[in-house]
Structure 1
């Protein structure tokens, strides 16, 4: 994370009035303390007893949250959600408008009729503001994933909509059985990058599929929001079985829906 970006978001949040020079001096330190005090209730870690990088990331997340860019939890870990929130802030700051992410459906794609379209998700899964939070459940898998934003930590728990949970659990077990633990790690398929998240879609005002609890992400960095084939890692031959298994279980790969964002899988059509 660039220190200048940290200064920019602190300035936008009204906590910093110095130069955007990347030098974290006395004014930057005072601004960081102000943000930490102002948003203490949001912090999931103690910023006074951690590394400097994690502390800076926490301040960045707290500011982005205050400014409405939805960086995820204020946990001090710089993952894909925080990175995209910062990208959205920088784009609006630079251009005066929000970035529009192209999700034009690929031509010639046959989609299963038993899955809802984006427009039908509210009627199928519920209103993300009030109903979906009461309908998400956590499945516990018989194996663990590494957290994509903090590879030192593992989890076997994934939170999604209760109606999407059985198919996701079956898909993930099938993927694990196909590849095995060693190959999962070697290919980065054990890098879990998030599922349920009550936020808006990047580059738009509608609800994200994650807010409906019908989406999950894996291995974000080489499979990013704007990365197309053949650059996206998941476009490579070793990953086609992964995409096939997920799709067979009704979890459609975004790379096959709109040709980018290969990390993303959703139980919904476009």
Structure 2
């Protein structure tokens, strides 16, 4: 069990009244005592021979019991950390943190709205002109304080984007701000601005980036790196569902949600 799993276990034990220590991810005497207390109440759910299990195996079994109690499919209560227990722990962690289980991401489909009639990537040069020339840019004020992701002491006042996407961007930003508020946006890292207009080719590709037309924006790039999938990218977490909904209702496209890489990136262009 890693520290994250131990913190989840401690939080569950605290809610059940067995643990009164710090939620610190350390399996110390108080955590061990709380596990023992919880396991004694559920001894009827344990297989024979469990009395000889190690402290670590008992802790894993206790976490499995917590998942079972919360109606999270976890498999056998055997104290062994396999793929099913690992996934069940992620579900339990989200449930304890947010009060609800994460959405079933395999069943999710990004919204396919396109109310602004954005063109496909392949049509950008025909529609907006050559990326070798600087596009007509407009600075859209951001209603919450931004910080440049690689230099947080720099505070952009807004986002410089192509004039054709400016009104849509403004609507998205207002809806995001109304929903989350400044404090929550900062907690989520959505104040970390990774840039919009950038005359360059796609990283790892030969075609022009949508950034070259000023119709794409990056957010919190350090925690949503180019090659990371939903197992690592912060913006793939359940707490960002509304964030993506606001973009998608305006027709903006998340590469992460469509292709499971480059979760930092959202663009006003169809794939």
Matched, 1:260 2:265: no
Question: Within 2, Cα distance between the matches of 1:240 and 1:110?
Answer: 11
Higher strand share: 1
Q: Please name the residue that 1:120 is paired with.
A: 123
Question: Within 2, Cα distance between the matches of 1:138 and 1:110?
Answer: 27
After TM superposition, the score normalised by the length of structure 1 is 0.57
Secondary structure of 1:150's partner?
Answer: coil
User: Aligned runs of 1:128-167 on 2, under 5 Å?
Assistant: 128-130=131-133, 133-167=134-168
Question: Within 1, Cα distance between the matches of 2:153 and 2:135?
Answer: 31
Q: Describe the shift of the 1:173–1:110 C-alpha distance in structure 2 as closer, same or farther (beyond 3 A).
A: closer
Q: Please name the residue that 2:187 is paired with.
A: 186
Shift of 1:200: 0.7
Question: Within 1, Cα distance between the matches of 2:150 and 2:111?
Answer: 33
Please tell me the root mean square deviation across aligned C-alpha atoms, in Å: 1.8
Secondary structure of 1:119's partner?
Answer: helix
Which structure 2 residue ranges, 5 or more long, are not aligned? 1-107
Shift of 1:184: 0.5
Which structure 1 residue ranges, 5 or more long, are not aligned? 1-106
After TM superposition, the score normalised by the length of structure 2 is 0.56
Shift of 1:153: 2.2
Query: In 1, are the aligned partners of 2:113 and 2:250 still within 8 Å (CA)?
Result: no
Larger radius of gyration: 2
User: Aligned runs of 1:17-28 on 2, under 5 Å?
Assistant: none
Secondary structure of 1:221's partner?
Answer: helix
What is the count of residue pairs matched by the alignment?
162
Q: Please name the residue that 1:223 is paired with.
A: 224
Q: Describe the shift of the 1:249–1:115 C-alpha distance in structure 2 as closer, same or farther (beyond 3 A).
A: same
Shift of 1:258: 1.2
Question: Within 1, Cα distance between the matches of 2:235 and 2:110?
Answer: 18
Secondary structure of 1:127's partner?
Answer: coil
Structure 1 runs (4+) deviating above 4 angstroms are: 107-110
Shift of 1:143: 3.2
User: Aligned runs of 1:27-176 on 2, under 5 Å?
Assistant: 111-112=112-113, 114-130=117-133, 133-176=134-177
